[in-house]
Amino acid sequence: MWILPPWKSNTDKSAFEMSWDVTEAFFENGAVESARVRPICGLIAELREAGFDSALRAGQSLYSLELSRSREHELRPEQSYIFLSPDRDGRVAVEGKLGQRKIKFGPVDATLVGSLREVVDALTLVEVD
């Protein structure tokens, strides 16, 4: 459980932004092997610059970046999500679920373009739960 700083309001946006702060710190502070996660660190920066940190929850599982619209840390089976798993060649494999549609492709370049941008944009359209 996180403690909400007094200067933050208790909104979905605040909860999402805090999740990105924690996730970014995990990847950048050497919690995992740095060469392998360098593409994820760059992708996190790119996603935040594009404003996705106020629309999506970020989390991590081992080396993977997890994105969702969940207000809570843990995902329920019916919730939509995207996992971005780094490949040794600097790209990411994409796996997840949008509604009832399963998604799996890649590895693709770890940049916010093409099919990766499309699924991230689609995830922002899912209702927050």
pTM beyond cutoff 0.95: no
* Average pLDDT per block of 10 residues along the chain, 129 residues long: 55 80 83 73 93 92 89 85 90 95 95 96 92
Rounded Cα gap, residues 7 and 115, in angstroms = 37
Residue 9: predicted pLDDT: 57
| Domain range annotation of the chain | 12-124
Residue 84: predicted pLDDT: 95
Residue 1: predicted pLDDT: 46
91 forms bridges with which residues in the sheet? 109
Rounded Cα gap, residues 96 and 84, in angstroms = 9
Rounded Cα gap, residues 20 and 27, in angstroms = 11
